[in-house]
Chains A and B, each alone.
Chain A
Amino acid sequence: MALFEARQLHKRFGDQVVLESISLTFEEGQLAGIMGPNGAGKTTCFNVLTGRFKPDRGSVHFAGADITGLPARRIARAGLSRSFQVMNLFDDETALDNVLIALPELRDQGFSMWRDLGRDTAARDASHAVLERVGLAHKGHVVAGSLSYGERRALEIGVALAARPRLLFLDEPTAGLGTEGTARIAELIMQLKGQLTIVIIEHDMRFLFGLADRISVIHWGQVIAEGTPQELRENPWVQRSNLGTLA
């Protein structure tokens, strides 16, 4: 059974149907990509999959449990973590504290009111390890709001990773980055690949084709094609659309 499965998702905003019967499965250990042109419903799809929006119809299953419509915190605790396209950090906290706040340890002891968190060396070491994974080990003391754009992108992934998820959703991790920054994020994701299941939403085709095991193409609120990057290159639908020229 797949680690994650979405069945027949429908979502409309007002009278506009954004998702029309989307079904997706992600296997454990794989790196899956979701792509599609702007306005295809990618981000809405992503938000429904990760529990930010509730679907109007359909269901979402993760690790054998139905997580449709659960509050964000329950989904996070089940082992599903996500990053955000528009940067979503704790801007007044240092990079280290951003990660610290997202640690499972902290969410279990969050109602402890007397212990000094500054003395918790185990939590600090764990946060450091996460920063190392995303290449920010030397930036731990810098306030998130003062980091460079590319560093903030990496920290975005770091905060999502800190929750030690089984499944990591990344929402356009390279948005707004130049070639160099994109390459750095690609390298980072390459290192994570295989350690956990990853789903990436992207409009940068080159980026996605180079990384993903499987890709789903979304257009007009539907999955119009699915397969390995190689299969998609040969897919007549993809070739005929403007996506094909990039791939």
Chain B
Amino acid sequence: MPSSPRLAPLVTAPMLITVALLASTPLWLSQVGLYQYLALEIMIWMLFALGHNLLLGHGGLPSFGHGAYFGMGAYAFGLMQLRAGAGLLLAMLAAVAAAALFGALVAAFISHRRGIYYALLTIAFGQVAWFVAGKWHAVTGGEDGLLNIKRPDLSLGFIDVALRSNEAFFYFALVVFAVVLVCMWRLVHSPFGRVLRAIKQNEMRAAFVGHNVWLYKWLAFTISAAVAGLAGSLFAMAQQSAYPNVMSLHNSGFVVMMVLIGGGLVSFWGPVIGALVFILARDLLGAYTETWLLWYGLLFIAVVLFQPDGVAGAWQAWRSRRLRHVRVDGPAAAARTREA
């Protein structure tokens, strides 16, 4: 319930459950017929989707070209490692910086727009990045991309941790994921996040009470691109390569579908749920049929038509129905839930 004040603890129960569930996957994943790499990939997409949802869910800003920043992170990581010999953390930092920089530049061109124009511009910039990645052979390796990207050891000063195995790298990525999860949670409950949400609901009024709408939209895009870049750097290590396909309109569309099916428009957890559903669907449906994306597409249409608030929205509706049965004190209980 939106009981004011809504406190946002640093760490919440759903966070602990999510991280604990992920952390336990090496114990049971292979027993249910899946494999560790799948959990790793799901987590990377969760990260990407969380960043994307800062724009789409919290800011109401539709970016359909976010694959570009994900790819930018992957390429930057690969280039730093292959050309500059950078270690793990430096290369990751470079990946985040590259994606953030490119994001900041694009955001400067689009932040005075909204709605369909905003969306179209994000696609245009995304396509430019994808095209460049595919054609600029000297730097990106063209269609083949960058190959033989390694998972460097994590050196903590007193000890070096090898990240070569899927399990070890998974735990490293889990730490990154947990940190970003906490940061994003803080961010959406901070004054910045609240003003951003207000801008989503009513951009004009936000300007008339004195907020610098353009700057908020610019910052949200830049942060979101930075998170995409971070996810991209993990992806480059996971795949041990970076290739143009990650920047494609396809990939950009996937993250939107994740956020929407999961319920990113109504819940912080939407992108996390959505990434899980999407990658699982890909693997489980994909095992039966090559046309899994057709079925997933139909599912997507059904969700948009009948359950536009996604999985998280359905959960919230169910919960508030239950609450109404329990509580009888009128409109407060019926008021829409925004939490969870």
Contacts and interface: CB of A to CB of B under 8 A. Distances in A.
Interface residues of B, number: 39
Contacts of B205: 84, 88-90, 159
Contacts of A102: 209-210
A93 B338 CA distance: 9
Contact of A88 (B5, B204, B338): B204
A146 interface: yes
A109 B191 contact: yes
A22 interface: no
Interface string A84-103: 10001111111011001110
Interface stretch (B43-51, B193-201, B252-260, B288-296): B193-201
Contacts of A89: 202, 205
B214 to A, nearest CB: 9
A119 B201 CA distance: 23
Contact of A92 (B6, B189, B212, B338): B338
A91 B5 CA distance: 17
A117 interface: yes
A90 B202 contact: yes
A47 to B, nearest CB: 11
A124 interface: yes
Interface string B1-24: 011111110000000000000000
Contacts of A121: 5
Contacts of B215: 111
A71 to B, nearest CB: 7
A19 B189 CA distance: 44
A104 B211 CA distance: 9
A101 B206 contact: yes
B207 A115 contact: no
A161 to B, nearest CB: 10
A100 to B, nearest CB: 8
Interface in A63-114: 71-73, 76-77, 81-82, 84, 88-94, 96-97, 100-102, 104, 106-107, 109-114
B161 interface: no
B335 interface: yes
Contacts of B323: none
Contact of B4 (A96, A111, A159, A163): A96
Nearest to A79: B210
Given A88-B208, A114-B190, A115-B191, 8 more contacts: A73-B210, A73-B212, A102-B209, A110-B191, A112-B190, A117-B193, A124-B5, A143-B335
8 contacts: A73-B213, A76-B208, A82-B208, A93-B198, A107-B195, A107-B209, A114-B187, A163-B210
Interface of B: 2-8, 186-187, 189-195, 197-198, 201-202, 204-213, 215-216, 219, 331-332, 334-336, 338
Interface of A: 50, 52, 71-73, 76-77, 81-82, 84, 88-94, 96-97, 100-102, 104, 106-107, 109-119, 121, 124, 140-143, 145-146, 159-160, 162-163
